[in-house]
Amino acid sequence: MPSISTPDGTRIFYKDWGSGRPVVLSHGWPLSADAWDTQLMLLASNGFRAVAHDRRGHGRSTQTWGGNDMDTYADDLAQVLEQLDLRDAILVGHSTGGGEVARYLGRHGTARVAKVVLVGAVPPLMLRTDSNPEGTPIEMLDAIRAGLLTDRSQFYQDLSVPFYGANRPGANVSQGARDQFWRLGMQAGLKNAYDCVKQFSEVDFTGDLQRIDVPVLVAHGDDDQIVPIRAAAAKSVQLLKDATLKVYEGAPHGIHGDYERAFDADLLEFCTS
């Protein structure tokens, strides 16, 4: 399997499809590069080199005991770009992957990056605080951690419902899509998935967003039950220097169905413009 090795010896699996300008995609929690297969196929079929890696502890990458923090995730992403010598790249991050992308840009700059897409992304801060009243209460995040420790298999089955908006009237989410979410989640190490909850929810990306000096497409569903738009995209566009906000009416957190088709069209247009 193709992989790169980080300075601490972690093996990071990646997919590398097509040729042309590189588009590098960072997945959400608790998934893997497989979550991007439709977008990888789309991009590689339209003249791009599409690359997606499994975050450490997820998918086929090493299940490390330590290093499950946003700074290390960002440095792992830097290793992917540097070891594959990717330049003039477009970075795409969904959910936790959006935090990873933002932190990469905050720590490593935009020398290798031309554009960015943040879709359903956790920045600037997911956690509810006095200064971020629109955020997610800590009790909900604690419930995620408890679910992982109690019965993570059932927890992932249950989480797939709000993730894809399957609890909304008229929802058309296949059992296969929900099963795939469960399958990818179960591939992540328990310790890695547990530690990552704190990283996607409690890390403040405000400074990272303010340092980004390339165009950013901020895409978000307005019925996202996992990362509500009012605490995420609506605030991120105010912090970014050059941002375009695209709101998908009625769309959930998971990129699926009509939402996926609309997003794919916008992604391809943004990459080719």
Q: Is 267 helix (H, G, I), strand (E, B) or coil?
A: helix
- Segment holding 177, helix H or strand E: helix 175-187
Please compute the mean of the pLDDT values over residues 55-63 and round it to a whole number. Answer: 98
* pLDDT recorded at residue 171: 94
* pLDDT recorded at residue 87: 98
Q: Does 19 score more than 90 pLDDT?
A: yes
Examine the residue annotation and report whether 95 is marked as an active-site residue of this protein: yes
* pLDDT recorded at residue 54: 99
Please compute the mean of the pLDDT values over residues 4-24 and round it to a whole number. Answer: 98
Please compute the mean of the pLDDT values over residues 118-140 and round it to a whole number. Answer: 97
Helices within 65-137 (DSSP H only) = 70-83, 96-108
* pLDDT recorded at residue 31: 98
* pLDDT recorded at residue 78: 98
Q: Which of 58, 94, 220, 253 is catalytic?
A: 253
Q: Does 23 score more than 90 pLDDT?
A: yes
Please compute the mean of the pLDDT values over residues 201-214 and round it to a whole number. Answer: 98
Dihedral, 31, 32, 35, 41 alpha carbons, nearest 10: 170
Q: Say how many CA atoms lie within 13 Å of 100 toward its Cβ.
A: 31
Q: Does 187 score more than 90 pLDDT?
A: yes
Extents of the domains making up the chain: 3-272
The pLDDT tens digits of the residues spanning 79-124 come to: 999 999 999 999 999 999 999 999 999 999 999 999 999 999 999 9
DSSP-derived pairing of the beta strands 3-5 and 11-17: antiparallel
Nearest to 161 by CA among 226, 66, 77, 217: 226
Mean pLDDT for the chain? 98
* pLDDT recorded at residue 185: 98
As assigned by CATH, the class of the 3-272 domain is alpha beta
Examine the residue annotation and report whether 253 is marked as an active-site residue of this protein: yes
Nearest to 173 by CA among 93, 268, 250: 250
Strand order in 48-53's β-sheet? 3-5, 11-17, 48-53, 21-26, 89-94, 113-119, 216-221, 243-248
Cβ contact 77:92 at 8 Å? no
* pLDDT recorded at residue 182: 98
* pLDDT recorded at residue 141: 98
* pLDDT recorded at residue 153: 98
Q: Does 128 score more than 90 pLDDT?
A: yes
Please compute the mean of the pLDDT values over residues 210-239 and round it to a whole number. Answer: 98
Spell out a b/e string for 80-104, using b for 16 or more CB atoms within 10 Å of the CB, else e: bbeebebeebbbbbbbbbbbbbbbb
Reading the block at residue 188, the tokens are: 């992540």
Whether a cis peptide bond, with omega within 30° of 0, leads into 124 is yes
Residue 32 and residue 60: Cα distance in Å, rounded? 8
Nearest to 119 by CA among 273, 272, 264, 18: 264
Q: Does 1 score more than 90 pLDDT?
A: no
Q: Which of 53, 224, 236, 256 is catalytic?
A: 224
Q: Which of 26, 32, 61, 95 is catalytic?
A: 95
Enumerate residues 6+ apart whose C-beta is below 8 A from 208. Answer: 102, 103, 105, 106, 107, 123
* pLDDT recorded at residue 28: 98
* pLDDT recorded at residue 42: 98
CB atoms within 10 A of CB 34: 17
Residue 154 and residue 15: Cα distance in Å, rounded? 29
